[in-house]
Amino acid sequence: MRLPPRGDYDALYRDFSWTIPEDFNIGRAISDDWAAREPDRVCLEHFSPDGNHLSMTYGMLAERSSAFANALVSMGIKRGDRVALLLPQSFETVIAHAAIYKMGAIALPLALLFGVEALEYRLKSAGAAVVVTNRFGLERIAKIRQHLPELRAVVSVDGGEEGALSFAALLAAHSARFTVVPTDPRDPALMIFTSGTTGPPKGALHGHQVVAGHLPGIQFAHEGYPQPGDKMWTPSDWAWAGGLLNALLPSLVLGVPVVSSPAQKFDAGMAYRIMAEMKVRNGFIPPTALRLLKSVADPRAKYDLVLRTIGSAGEALGAETFEWVKRTLGIKVNEFYGQTECNFVLSSNAALGVSRPGAIGRAVPGHRVSIVDNDGRPLPSGEAGQIAVARPDPVMFLGYWNDSEATKRKFAGDWLLTGDLGREDDDGYVTFLGRDDDVITSSGYRIGPSEIEDCLLGHPAVQLAAVVGKPDPVRTEIVKAYVVPAPGIEPSDTLAAEIASWVKMRLSMHEYPREVTFVPELPLTTTGKVIRRVLRERAAAEFGWRDI
Residue ranges with strand state E in 134-183? 153-156, 165-166
Choose among 443, 513, 511: nearest CA to 476.
Answer: 443
Residue 461: which CATH number?
3.30.300.30
The more confident residue out of 8 and 472 is 8
| 365/481 same-domain check | no
361 vs 349: CA distance, rounded Å: 8
240 vs 246: CA distance, rounded Å: 10
pLDDT bracket for residue 442 (50, 70, 90): confident
pLDDT tens, residue by residue, 260-273: 999 777 899 999 99
Q: Is residue 325 part of a domain?
A: yes
Which CA distances in Å does 13 have to 7, 294, 310? 11, 35, 22
| 264/378 same-domain check | yes
Mean pLDDT of the chain: 91
| 306/447 same-domain check | no
Q: Of 362, 390, 424, which marks where a domain is finished?
A: 424
| 448/386 same-domain check | no
pLDDT bracket for residue 196 (50, 70, 90): low
Q: Is residue 430 part of a domain?
A: no
Q: What is the mean pLDDT of residues 385-405?
A: 97
pLDDT bracket for residue 203 (50, 70, 90): very high
Q: Is residue 357 part of a domain?
A: yes
| 406/449 same-domain check | no
| 363/489 same-domain check | no
Residue 238: which CATH number?
3.40.50.12780
Q: Is residue 103 part of a domain?
A: yes
- Percent of the residues in the chain that have a pLDDT greater than 70, as a whole number: 95
Q: What is the mean pLDDT of residues 436-449?
A: 69
Please tell me the total count of domains within the chain.
2
Q: Is residue 432 part of a domain?
A: no
Residue 5, pLDDT above cutoff 70: no
Angle between helices 449-457 and 319-329 (to 10 degrees): 40
pLDDT, position 530:
82
| 471/410 same-domain check | no
pLDDT bracket for residue 454 (50, 70, 90): confident
The more confident residue out of 498 and 475 is 498
pLDDT, position 43:
98
| 349/458 same-domain check | no
Task: Name every residue whose Cβ is closer than 8 Å to that of residue 501 and which is 6 or more positions away in sequence.
Answer: 512
Q: Is residue 548 part of a domain?
A: no
Q: Which domain holds residue 223?
A: 9-13+23-424
Q: Of 393, 424, 455, which marks where a domain is finished?
A: 424
Please return the burial class of 546, using the count of CB atoms within 10 Å of its CB with bins 0-12, 13-18 and 19+: exposed
| 513/376 same-domain check | no
Residue 318, pLDDT above cutoff 90: no
| 482/409 same-domain check | no
112 vs 362: CA distance, rounded Å: 34
Q: Of 424, 454, 489, which marks where a domain is finished?
A: 424
Q: What is the mean pLDDT of residues 76-87?
A: 98
Given a contact cutoff of 8 angstroms between Cβ atoms, the answer to whether 508 and 177 are in contact is no
Choose among 413, 331, 429, 332: nearest CA to 372.
Answer: 413
pLDDT, position 351:
93
| 507/386 same-domain check | no
Lowest mean pLDDT among 353-367, 437-451, 452-466: 437-451
Q: Where are the alpha helices (DSSP H) in 237-309?
A: 241-243, 249-253, 268-277, 287-292, 299-302
Lowest mean pLDDT among 48-52, 70-74, 81-85: 48-52
The more confident residue out of 135 and 196 is 135
| 453/419 same-domain check | no
